[in-house]
Amino acid sequence: DQQVKQNSPSLSVQEGRISILNCDYTNSMFDYFLWYKKYPAEGPTFLISISSIKDKNEDGRFTVFLNKSAKHLSLHIVPSQPGDSAVYFCAASAGAAGNKLTFGGGTRVLVKP
């Protein structure tokens, strides 16, 4: 049972344009959501997070939106840069579970110059 799903395995975008990555979850106990970026042969790098009491969080070029009623979150990257080419994972946790994260399957992003 996949509790966190990223339905797009890959995304190709032109440099300078917006990248939009989507993530859906089923567990209503999840109250903290994170996005990670992963390059080959490296561990995931934390990008941005959002708590369920908010519906938007912004950090530089990265913005995460949370729609609790739809159990959906998205990551917007504006503008996209070639260095953003990587695999992006969304993850979720429930407060009582501490640091136990449930990850989506990842979306591979390719930013074309």
* Residue 111 C-beta: closest distance to other proteins, Å: 22
Q: Of 80 and 89, which has the nearer Cβ to other proteins? A: 89
Sequential DSSP letters for the chain: --SEE---SEEEEETTS-EEEEEEE--TTEEEEEEEEE-TTS--EEEEEEETT-SEEEETTEEEEEETTTTEEEEEESS--GGG-EEEEEEEEEGGGTT--EE---EEEEEE-
Comparison of 13 and 48: residue with beta carbon closer to other proteins: 48
What residue ranges bind other proteins (CB under 8 A)? 32, 34, 36, 41-46, 49, 89, 91, 93, 95, 97-106
**Smallest distance, Å, CB 10 to other proteins?**
15
